[in-house]
Amino acid sequence: MSVDTEFWESLHRVLVGAGAYITDPQGRALLVKPNYRPHWSFAGGAVDEGEHPAQACARELVEELGLALPVGELLVVQWVGPRDGRPYPLINFVFDCGVIDVDAPIKLQAEELDDYGFFTEEEAASLLPPWMHDRVTAAAAARAGGTTRYLPPVSAG
């Protein structure tokens, strides 16, 4: 094994996730209910090898919702420590994927998702863990202000 290989294998490993902030014309956020976890989430998922986060976001929207939407500005970045059996920390990117009508033709990926809906920030609070709800409020503020938000890290849990 070369010195370079040993060095790279010794480094800390981090997973990368990409989520889509989509709203309806009233500003309610589109959330999905995965069948593999107890809480709701943004549409999106893990970044695959060879992808960058915006590509993963676009791919996940097609796979999960049947929507080919433009992936816009980066709104939120958050570091989440290992939790719920995930052995590595996660860096999560949330992108602005625009506004769609509530009657947009959404086709749920049945293997992963049970439901979807549009929710106000207040309604989302009862569906999401606190750190994920922070992403919803930060995404709304970042979109409104034309900025990007870096949220405080979430501890391992």
Model confidence pLDDT, tens digit, residues 106-133? 999 999 999 999 999 999 999 999 999 9
Q: What CATH number does residue 112 fall under? A: 3.90.79.10
Whether 5 is in a domain gets the answer no
Q: What does the alpha-carbon distance between residue 18 and residue 35 come to, in Å, rounded to a whole number?
A: 18
- Residue for token digits 């930060």? 138
In the prediction, which pLDDT does 5 show? 86
Q: How many domains does the chain have?
A: 1
Whether 3 is in a domain gets the answer no
Phi, psi of 111 (to 5 degrees): -65, -25
Residues contacting 100, CB < 8 A, separation 6+: 22, 23, 24, 30, 67, 69
Q: Which helix (H) or strand (E) element contains residue 94?
A: strand 90-99
Which domain covers residue 133, as residue numbers?
A: 10-150
Whether 33 is in a domain gets the answer yes
Whether 2 is in a domain gets the answer no
**pLDDT at residue 10 greater than cutoff 70:** yes
Question: What confidence tier does 2 reach under pLDDT thresholds 50, 70, 90?
Answer: low
Sign of CA dihedral 27, 128, 30, 79: positive
- Residue for token digits 């990368």? 16
Whether 1 is in a domain gets the answer no
| Token pair for 81 | 């420590």
- Diameter over CA atoms, the chain: 57
- Higher local confidence (pLDDT), 81 or 12: 81
